Amino acid sequence: MMRIPLLLVYKILNYIIDTTYIPLKYKLTLGLICKQIFQKIRSNNKINKTTRWDTWTEDDDNLIESHRDSEHCIIKDIENLFLYFDITQKKIDIDFVDKRLERLGRDVQTLKVLEYNCPLNYHFYPNFIRHFPKLVTLELDLEGVGSYNYLYWIETETKVELPPIENLNIRVNEDILFVQWILTKIKMSIVTMVIHISGYLPNHLSEPLNIFIGEYQAPNLKSIDCPKQFPLDKLILNHQSHLTSFVINYPLWEPIDVIVNQKNMPCLEEIIIHTMSSKLLHKFVITSISQMPQLRKLRHTSFCSLANGDTLTVENQPLKYIQELEIQNPNLFNYLLSKNMIGNQLVLLKIDCLNSQSYELLNRYLSTTDKLSHLHFDCAKCSYIQSEILSRTISKMPSLIALNIRVGNQDNQIFNHLHLSETLDFISIRSYELLYPITIHPPFQLITSGPSLRQFLRNGIHYNEISQIITPKPTIFSKFLNFFTHK
């Protein structure tokens, strides 16, 4: 009988765990193979350890704790916790938090809290957050709550110490005092800042905010996504030497081409543009993006149309350094491809809302690239002939690993030749109101099926398949030896 070295088994196991599109259920079932693999999976911090509570009761808490106390529990540490509070629940105060979260929160690294008109105690959030000493990522959605809920404790709980939170994602209505309070508390540890303000800010709130942000300096801040109410130019200037990414939410922001350049921002790797006038965008591509070889990711989600007379200099391919490109404007995508502005360094391409001209240009680009490994595109408006041609082209791509497609209800030929690909490993298909069955020829097999989602994996996943490896029948001596060896 051939024995596989344990090191090789662990290497295969790590590959499976690291592959994001393999279902968590399958990863967990690998723990049934033997005791060593069970321990290996349980100690791997890449296994997604998530608990979601839509309601928060004492019974839920006791059930989770009894499960974690079992020696057969493969998920010992709850690292990701999602809590949802709404007006239908009983009032939750700090006494409940002290009694129930002290043990549960000790290993939590990611905490997401969604609140909607829940009558929480005024002291709830400062005391609540401090029960998670290892907290790294905090996401709070408080848009459904009036600012009056926080005014009291902001003034009285200033001495509360928070854990060293690195990633902050917060949505508020007009609770500027809360935003300023938490940004001040985590100033020395914050790395990623995502803030959304949905309410209107009158002058008596916006002016103090501008002063606060203009003077705010966090030594480790690397990523910024802030609303238009924030003076983003000042925030970038205060952190430009170590910023790696930022988001533009401004339709017109003239200082951008002056601030963003290789000299001022040597660490910048990603820019996300949610909205920007076409004229300013073109100027930005030429003056900034094309001159920054360290910039690897560009996302453009604006639907602004190209103005008449807007042109870009084609010299040296302005996007030649970009490795990950996401565009939701078909006109812009068509223009970039028609002028040969996208280089051959792309490893990820994501495009939505394409038109008939886009598919011809896309097919031409896919025929020439040799590094693209992840492709996302909308095939809903693709014609019968165009989808057939694209299917053949994709099947011949030398580096494509994962394919994500959105399709419509028409008879689409995009799936005809995908099985011929030698590199493609995963296919995800999304559609609204899918009215016809989707099948892909072997070796691809269906692993996920839903009303609007189909996912296929090369060779599939077989939870209950009988092993084809022939092993000798265990003897009494071998059982005895195995017991003491793996005890």
Reported as a single tens digit per residue, the pLDDT across 420-476 is: 999 999 999 998 666 667 889 999 999 888 878 889 999 987 655 544 444 556 665
Q: Which amino acid appears at position 478 of this protein?
A: S
What are the backbone dihedrals phi and psi of residue 427, each rounded to the nearest 5 degrees, phi first?
A: -130, 125
Domains and CATH numbers, the chain: 1-48 (no CATH), 49-199+209-225 (3.80.10)
Residues in CB range of 19: below 8 A, 6 or more apart: none
Alpha-carbon gap, residue 133 to 156, rounded angstroms: 22
Residue 443 preceded by cis peptide, ω within 30:
yes
Q: What is the pLDDT of residue 282?
A: 65
| d(C-alpha 298, C-alpha 289), whole Å | 9
- In eight-state DSSP terms, residue 473 is P
- H helices of 294-431, in order, are 330-338, 356-366, 384-395
Q: Which amino acid is at 84?
A: Y
pLDDT score of 482: 59
- CA 487 – CA 74 distance, rounded (Å): 17
Nearest CA to 110 among 84, 88, 83? 83
Residues pairing with 81 in the sheet: 51, 111
Whether 461 contacts 23, CB under 8 Å: yes
- Single-letter code of the amino acid located at 412: N
Closest CA to 131 of 83, 172, 88, 91: 83
Contact 399/374 with Cβ under 8 angstroms? no
Query: How far apart, in whole angstroms, are the C-alpha atoms of residue 208 and residue 203?
Result: 8
CB-based contact 24:448 (threshold 8 Å): no
Tell me how far apart the alpha carbons of residues 342 and 285 are, in angstroms, rounded to a whole number: 12
User: In the block, which residue shows the tokens 């099926």?
Assistant: 449
Lookup: tokens for 480:
């005895």
Residue 241 DSSP SS3: coil
Summarised one tens digit per residue, pLDDT across range 98-122 is 566 666 777 888 888 876 555 554 4
Gap between the Cα atoms of 161 and 126, Å rounded? 8
Q: Extract the residue ranges of the chain whose pLDDT is less than 70.
A: 1-4, 44-77, 85-103, 115-127, 144-159, 250-263, 275-283, 285-287, 302-316, 409-410, 432-436, 462-487
Helix (H) or strand (E) holding 471: none
Q: What is the CA radius of gyration of the chain?
A: 26
Do 325 and 350 contact (CB within 8 A), yes or no?
Answer: yes
Crossing angle between the packed helical segments 176-185 and 148-156, to the nearest 10 degrees: 40
Strands 402-406 and 374-378, by their bridges, are parallel
Q: Which two tokens stand for residue 208?
A: 């103090």
Question: Residue 52 and residue 42: Cα distance in Å, rounded?
Answer: 20
Element of type H or E holding 154: helix 148-156
> What is the structure's pLDDT at 219?
96
For tokens 């106390």, the residue is: 69
